């Protein structure tokens, strides 16, 4: 009871004392000094094979982490782009001493974390289990098994991942931005494609391993509850006799920015937003005298929700959910980029506003409050990051790799807090460029392109793989584009397709189609039936055994979707989408029904086959980009959108394995990819003009 009274009395006295203090709440409290950063210097030693070892002791917790980084620098892969990444994945597929399942079990049983990748590996575990975890990492790096089955699996998954990104405007914009900025034939600008991955064989992986997994130019960093002597003993036992190819850091020539600011446009007709990247190449090594000022300048321009770009494009104008900027750094050229995903009808306006904020930075239109907020962000995030042992490991190796002063991170916040408004204006004028920039935009050209002319920059068109577009003519006056020598028209592409599958007269005879389909995905097999009947009636039902898992019915004017026991009517938007297919063979109606609008977009390529690209605007307004084989006239691929849970989701459809059905040649394998989910339908039986009645669509 006495203790309670004392505590209560203390609270009353404290409250009374605070009441006597007058606080001026109209003024922000002055910022305190930057928090002191205490980083223990690593113990460093080198093995005879060239491996550099760093040990940062920290006995606060009974845990140790080790990370091995092989500093090979950017690797030019050429026609085998994607190989090094695939090789890195293969390191995790078991060793010559232990298959993958046993390896993973050995890691799990000690509660450790072991990772292997193309530039090295890492291991983390409680102190008493760390030696086992470390030796598992070493075994994975030194003795990979490289099983053929794993290679086939990972290669297939890589191709599937690439396909899922084919229609992604953000992925396209990022790929084209790097390719045009650095050059497609450089290590910094090349990119992985289906073609480069399909050509890979297991021997390529083994050769890449020999070339790049080596103790040469490798840095092994220990952080945690371990002494330098113990770390040296572990490393010597695990890696002392390891040998490999001697690496040298590549010398990469500098690339120039455009002579004048230009717009590089990629038409993605199915994109619901425009992906916008504005920027230029910079040289910003970590020992650059402007490094810290540049970090603060970028934070103010586009580092977060309080930045100039965010407040302008989102809060003021409502063009986007968020706009940000990034400044690269390191020993090689990197990119300064300001970006946003913008409403298609506002891409031109958003571009103008981004340049306006860049000019504000260059002109020194920065307030002391903006500077204080940016510094506070760094003070908080840097100190918080020091709680992560892996961050300490990165700092230790960064100092060696980037030739930094030993106190680089100890004095990091001091240098951040010494940045002045004059420093920000100076570095913005040097590194944020408005006269020699590249504006890369990926989006719906029919909406975006006509408005870009007002910006006054030349517009160049590229495909999604950074190749200049070859069009029959420019879509908009002023757009730079090569002339197309092909005289083919949209109607000729459609006529050729109808002829290729059996002729227009035979197509007109088809009034219904009934198909038995199979589907294997996620380790399960489904059987089903698909029926179509003119005009525009559709039915699709999938079963697993005797249980219906999905059904869609449309009678031409209304319909429903069913998943398991749940059933709902088609929305108005879904009905309009279903009505886009007016018949069993929809191409017949492209040239006979005025509700469709078609346009020839030029040539393309699907796998190794040259194609004609046809744009079809459906009656609902939905756009479909269809690719027809130049050689056979058959439809190979389609990019469009599909309504899922009320939203338009980009979708890719591939048509393969055409076979004769009655008088027509029809695809028997149709693979749909929407939202990264691949759905491969196989048509086991197709019947024309039989087995379909009105009752199927009720």
pLDDT in tens, 203-216: 999 999 999 999 99
DSSP state of 473: S
Q: What is the average pLDDT across 148-166?
A: 92
The answer to whether the beta carbons of residues 265 and 83 sit under 8 Å apart is no
Looking at residue 647, what is its pLDDT?
65
User: What are the angstrom distances between the C-alpha of 262 and each of 281, 344, 438, 577?
Assistant: 14, 19, 5, 37
Confidence of residue 87 (pLDDT cuts 50, 70, 90): very high
pTM here is 0.71
Q: What is the average pLDDT across 167-174?
A: 92
Looking at residue 36, what is its pLDDT?
57
The answer to whether the beta carbons of residues 145 and 96 sit under 8 Å apart is yes
DSSP state of 329: -
Report percent pLDDT > 90 for the chain. 69
Q: Is 90 exceeded by the pLDDT of residue 644? A: no
Confidence of residue 646 (pLDDT cuts 50, 70, 90): low
Lowest-pLDDT choice from 111-115, 480-484, 593-597: 480-484
Report percent pLDDT > 70 for the chain. 91
Q: Is 50 exceeded by the pLDDT of residue 624? A: yes
Lowest-pLDDT choice from 6-20, 302-316, 395-409, 540-554: 6-20
CA-closest candidate to residue 236, choices 134, 145, 92? 134
The answer to whether the beta carbons of residues 60 and 40 sit under 8 Å apart is no
Q: Residue 672 forms beta bridges with which residues?
A: 653, 679
Helix (H) and strand (E) counts in the chain: 21, 28
DSSP state of 99: B
DSSP secondary structure letters along 54-80 = EEEE-TTSSEEEEEEEE-------GGG
Q: Is 50 exceeded by the pLDDT of residue 477? A: no
Q: What is the average pLDDT across 62-76?
A: 96
Looking at residue 48, what is its pLDDT?
95
Q: What is the average pLDDT across 627-654?
A: 84
Looking at residue 608, what is its pLDDT?
81
Looking at residue 473, what is its pLDDT?
42
Stated as kind and residue range, the H or E segment containing 575 is helix 572-578
Strand 459-462's sheet: what is its strand order? 320-327, 334-343, 273-282, 438-443, 262-267, 459-462, 479-480
- Of residues 481 and 71, the one with the higher pLDDT is 71
Q: Residue 615 forms beta bridges with which residues?
A: 599, 625
Looking at residue 421, what is its pLDDT?
97
Angle at 355 between CA 351 and CA 356, to 5 degrees: 115
Phi, psi (deg, nearest 5) at residue 164:
-65, -20
Q: Which two tokens stand for residue 586?
A: 């929809």
Q: Is 80 exceeded by the pLDDT of residue 260? A: yes
Q: Residue 336 forms beta bridges with which residues?
A: 280, 327
Buried b (16+ CB within 10 A) or exposed e, 255-280: eebbeebbbbbbbbbbbbbbbbbbbb
Stated as kind and residue range, the H or E segment containing 349 is helix 347-362
Looking at residue 33, what is its pLDDT?
58
Lowest-pLDDT choice from 125-134, 333-342, 479-488: 479-488
Looking at residue 690, what is its pLDDT?
92
Q: Is 50 exceeded by the pLDDT of residue 340? A: yes
Q: What is the average pLDDT across 669-675?
A: 84
Q: What is the average pLDDT across 112-118?
A: 96
CA-closest candidate to residue 270, choices 159, 174, 163, 166? 166
The residue behind tokens 């770009």 is 309
Residues 6+ apart with CB under 8 A from 269: 444, 445, 446, 615, 623, 625, 639
Looking at residue 53, what is its pLDDT?
97
Looking at residue 175, what is its pLDDT?
96
The answer to whether the beta carbons of residues 697 and 560 sit under 8 Å apart is no
Give the dihedral sign, CA 58/60/65/70. Answer: negative
CA-closest candidate to residue 278, choices 426, 455, 422, 423? 455
Q: Is 50 exceeded by the pLDDT of residue 306? A: yes
Q: Is 513 exposed, middle or buried (0-12, 13-18, 19+ CB in 10 A)?
A: buried
Do 490-697 and 43-239 fall under one CATH topology? no
Looking at residue 565, what is its pLDDT?
82
The answer to whether the beta carbons of residues 675 and 657 sit under 8 Å apart is no
DSSP secondary structure letters along 359-420 = HHHHTT---HHHHHHHHHHHHHHHHHHTT-HHHHHHHHHHHHHTT--TTTTTTHHHHHHT--
Q: What is the average pLDDT across 177-205?
A: 96
DSSP state of 455: G
Give the dihedral sign, CA 191/195/199/205. Answer: positive
Looking at residue 536, what is its pLDDT?
87
Q: Which two tokens stand for residue 512?
A: 């219904």
DSSP secondary structure letters along 135-200 = HHHHHHHH-B---HHHHHHHHHHHHHHHHHTTT-HHHHHHHHHHHHHH-TTSTTT----HHHHHT-
How many whole angstroms from its chain centre is CA 588? 38
Q: Which two tokens stand for residue 174?
A: 């990022």
Confidence of residue 622 (pLDDT cuts 50, 70, 90): confident
Q: What is the average pLDDT across 11-39?
A: 50
Q: Which two tokens stand for residue 41?
A: 């210097």
Long-range contacts, stretch 201-205, CB < 8 angstroms, 24+ apart: 202/146, 202/148, 202/151, 204/80, 204/83, 205/83, 205/86, 205/87, 205/90, 205/146, 205/151
Residues 6+ apart with CB under 8 A from 392: 39, 56, 58, 223, 386
The residue behind tokens 């090979």 is 72
Looking at residue 1, what is its pLDDT?
37
Stated as kind and residue range, the H or E segment containing 639 is strand 635-644
Q: Is 50 exceeded by the pLDDT of residue 262? A: yes
DSSP state of 29: P
Lowest-pLDDT choice from 15-24, 74-83, 674-683: 15-24
Distance CA 513, CA 537 (A): 10
**490-697 under CATH 2.50.20.10, yes or no:** yes
Distance CA 187, CA 81 (A): 9
| Domain range annotation of the chain | 43-239, 262-378+395-483, 490-697
CA-closest candidate to residue 645, choices 612, 674, 666, 606? 674
Query: What fold, for 43-239?
Result: Cytochrome Bc1 Complex; Chain A, domain 1 (3.30.830)
Q: What is the average pLDDT across 131-156?
A: 97
The residue behind tokens 């420019």 is 474
Confidence of residue 686 (pLDDT cuts 50, 70, 90): very high
Distance CA 309, CA 127 (A): 46
Longest Cα–Cα distance of the chain, Å, equals 103
Taking the CB of residue 147, how many other CB atoms lie within 10 A of it? 15
DSSP state of 302: H
- Reported as a single tens digit per residue, the pLDDT across 489-522 is 899 999 999 999 999 999 999 999 999 999 887 7
Q: Is 50 exceeded by the pLDDT of residue 190? A: yes
Whole-number mean pLDDT of the chain? 88
Distance CA 391, CA 41 (A): 14
The answer to whether the beta carbons of residues 66 and 124 sit under 8 Å apart is yes
Q: Which two tokens stand for residue 109?
A: 């049983």
Q: What is the average pLDDT across 413-426?
A: 96
What proportions of the chain, in percent to the nearest 5, are helix, strand and coil?
35, 30, 35
- Of residues 482 and 263, the one with the higher pLDDT is 263
Q: What is the average pLDDT across 243-255?
A: 94
User: What are the angstrom distances between the C-alpha of 694 and each of 48, 227, 373, 536, 554?
Assistant: 81, 80, 68, 12, 11
How many whole angstroms from its chain centre is CA 46? 38
How many whole angstroms from its chain centre is CA 292? 28
- Reported as a single tens digit per residue, the pLDDT across 343-380 is 999 999 999 999 999 999 999 999 999 999 999 998 88
Q: Which two tokens stand for residue 144?
A: 């990979």
Confidence of residue 99 (pLDDT cuts 50, 70, 90): very high
Among 1.20.1260.10, 3.40.50.10470, 3.40.640.10, 3.30.830.10, name the CATH number for the domain at 262-378+395-483. Answer: 3.30.830.10
């Amino acid at each position: 009871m006495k203790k309670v009274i004392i505590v209560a009395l203390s609270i009353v006295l404290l409250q009374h004392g605070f009441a006597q203090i007058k606080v001026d709440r109209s003024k922000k409290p002055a910022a305190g000094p930057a928090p002191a950063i205490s980083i223990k210097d690593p113990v460093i030693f080198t093995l005879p094979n060239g491996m550099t070892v760093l040990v940062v002791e920290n006995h606060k917790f009974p845990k140790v982490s080790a990370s091995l980084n092989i500093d090979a620098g950017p690797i030019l892969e050429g026609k085998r782009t994607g190989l090094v990444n695939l090789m890195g994945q293969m390191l995790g597929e078991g060793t010559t001493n232990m298959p993958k399942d046993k390896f993973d079990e050995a890691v799990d049983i000690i509660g450790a974390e072991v990772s292997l990748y193309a530039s090295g590996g890492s291991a983390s575990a409680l102190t008493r289990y760390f030696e086992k975890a470390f030796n598992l990492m070493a075994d994975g790096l030194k003795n990979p098994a490289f099983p053929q089955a794993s290679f086939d699996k990972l290669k297939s998954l890589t191709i599937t991942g690439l396909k899922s990104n084919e229609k992604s405007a953000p992925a396209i914009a990022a790929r084209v931005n790097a390719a045009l900025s650095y050059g497609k034939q450089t290590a910094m600008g090349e990119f992985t494609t289906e073609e480069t991955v399909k050509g890979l064989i297991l021997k390529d992986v083994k050769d890449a391993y020999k070339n790049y997994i080596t103790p040469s130019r490798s840095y092994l960093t220990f952080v945690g509850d371990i002494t330098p002597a113990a770390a040296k003993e572990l490393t010597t036992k695990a890696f002392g006799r390891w040998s490999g190819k001697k690496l040298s850091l590549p010398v990469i020539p500098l690339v120039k920015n455009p002579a004048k600011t230009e717009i590089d446009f990629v038409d993605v007709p199915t994109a619901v937003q425009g992906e916008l990247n504005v920027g230029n190449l910079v040289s910003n090594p970590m020992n650059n005298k402007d490094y810290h000022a540049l970090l603060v300048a970028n934070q103010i321009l586009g580092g977060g929700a309080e930045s100039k770009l965010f407040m302008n494009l989102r809060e003021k104008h409502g063009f986007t959910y968020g706009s940000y900027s990034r400044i690269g750094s390191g020993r090689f050229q990197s990119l300064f980029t300001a970006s946003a995903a913008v409403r298609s009808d506002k891409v031109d306006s958003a571009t103008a506003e981004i340049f306006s904020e860049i000019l504000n930075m260059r002109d020194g239109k920065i307030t002391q409050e903006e500077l204080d907020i940016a510094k506070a962000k760094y003070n908080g995030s840097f100190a918080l990051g020091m709680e992560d042992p892996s961050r300490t490991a990165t700092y230790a190796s960064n100092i060696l790799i980037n030739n930094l002063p030993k106190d680089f991170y100890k004095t990091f916040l001091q240098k951040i807090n010494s940045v002045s408004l004059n420093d920000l204006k100076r570095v913005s004028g040097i590194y944020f460029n408005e006269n020699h920039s590249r504006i890369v935009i990926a989006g719906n050209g029919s909406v975006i392109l006509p408005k870009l002319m007002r910006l006054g920059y030349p517009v160049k068109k590229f495909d999604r793989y950074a190749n200049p577009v070859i069009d029959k003519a420019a879509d908009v006056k002023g757009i730079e584009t090569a002339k197309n020598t092909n005289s083919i028209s949209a109607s000729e592409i459609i006529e050729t397709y109808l002829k290729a599958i059996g002729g227009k007269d035979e197509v007109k005879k088809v009034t219904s189609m009934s198909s038995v389909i199979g589907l294997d995905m996620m380790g399960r097999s489904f059987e089903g039936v698909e029926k179509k009947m003119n005009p525009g009636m559709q039915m699709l039902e999938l079963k697993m055994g005797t249980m219906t898992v999905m059904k869609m019915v449309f009678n031409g004017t209304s319909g429903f979707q069913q998943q398991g026991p749940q059933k709902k009517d088609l929305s108005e938007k879904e009905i309009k989408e279903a009505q886009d297919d007016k018949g069993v063979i929809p191409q017949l109606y492209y040239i006979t029904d005025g509700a469709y609008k078609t346009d020839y977009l030029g040539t393309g390529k699907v796998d190794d086959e040259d194609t004609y690209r046809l744009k079809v605007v459906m009656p609902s307004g939905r756009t479909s980009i269809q690719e027809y084989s130049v050689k056979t006239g058959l439809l190979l691929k389609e990019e469009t959108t599909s309504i899922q849970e009320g939203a338009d989701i980009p979708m890719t459809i591939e048509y393969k394995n055409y076979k004769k059905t009655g008088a027509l040649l029809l695809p028997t394998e149709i693979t749909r990819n929407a939202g990264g989910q691949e759905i491969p339908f196989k048509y086991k039986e197709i019947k024309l003009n039989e087995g379909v009645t009105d009752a199927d669509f009720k």
